[in-house]
Amino acid sequence: MENFLQQLINGVTLGSIYGLIAIGYTMVYGIIGMINFAHGDVFMVSAFIAMLLFLAVTAFLGVSSLFLAFFIILIAGMILTSLWSWTIERIAYRPLRGSFRLAPLISAIGMSIFLANFVQVVQGPRNKPLPPMFNQVIQLTSGGEFDVTLAYKQIVIVAVTVVLLAVFWFVVQKTPLGRAQRACEQDRKMAALLGINVDRTISITFIIGAALASVAGVLYLVNYGVVSFSDGFIPGVKAFTAAVLGGIGSIPGAVLGGLLIGLVEVLWSAYVSSDYKNVAAFSILIIALIFMPSGLLGKPEIEKV
């Protein structure tokens, strides 16, 4: 029982990171119907940006407080990653928006390859470690076969995820920007006729998705303490899997899918074999889509004629 509780904590922590990345996939698909396969590599770039910012803040600016350094990295990383994603959208996606459906997809795959190779050339192929952050733990149980602990970094990861999701839900549901996004999701042409700047709304959607991916990159770095140029592929694919599992286009579904993928991965590693944890996660997706093609919380797509 103690081991299950520990793995449950680990799974929720990992699933929170997947959920943040998955929201970027589901937002872009919900508005323009495109799978942004470069989103995972945007997440990877954000982790490298966070690492460089941490070194700059601690070594050059002399900030000794970990919480202050974490806050600075979080805000600055969101800004820089959002600018990066805005540039990608303007260069690689917007010119192809009126083209045939495969063109943006091919461009996204090309951008993914470019980002991975760019970081490999600039930072090198080796793993880049970071000094440990928030490594203190709270011991929940002791004396049994397993000691259940809750690390400070796990509390930070879940707390930041919950706060950001609450803020994001408010933006989507209660603000003019959110109404514009939902209008573009339903019908971009009609939204444009009603005076909504569709291009600007799509650009802001990319920016918000990149900001959430940036937070996920910072939390990933805090959780694992190391990052590599190849770290965009597997977490990106798992986050995409989470978005599809929860229902592509559904923001609550993306979060739910991320938590489920994180829990399946961690529990399978603990009780079966860590060698096949990826197979387990993708198998859950296949089984779910056989019985629920629209995902857990997704709605059947209605073709407009």
> Which three-class secondary structure state does DSSP give residue 146?
coil
Q: How buried is 239 (Cβ within 10 angstroms: 0-12 exposed, 13-18 middle, 19+ buried)?
A: buried
Question: Which residue type, as a one-letter code, is found at position 136?
Answer: Q
H runs (alpha helix) in the chain: 2-32, 39-55, 66-88, 102-123, 152-174, 176-186, 188-193, 198-224, 233-246, 251-271, 277-291
Q: Is residue 299 part of a domain?
A: no
Residues 6+ apart with CB under 8 A from 252: 246, 297
d(CA 110, CA 235) in angstroms, rounded, equals: 18
* pTM for the predicted model, two decimal places: 0.90
Q: Is residue 297 part of a domain?
A: no
Q: Count the domains in the chain.
A: 1
What is residue 14's predicted lDDT score, i.e. its pLDDT?
Answer: 92
Question: Could you tell me the residue range of the domain that residue 215 belongs to?
Answer: 24-228
33 confidence band (pLDDT: 50, 70, 90): confident
Q: Is residue 270 part of a domain?
A: no
pLDDT tens for each residue of 253-280:
888 999 999 999 998 888 888 788 888 8
Q: What phi and psi values does residue 228 have, to the nearest 5 degrees? A: -135, 160
Q: Is residue 87 part of a domain?
A: yes
Q: Is residue 38 part of a domain?
A: yes
144 confidence band (pLDDT: 50, 70, 90): low
Q: Is residue 203 part of a domain?
A: yes
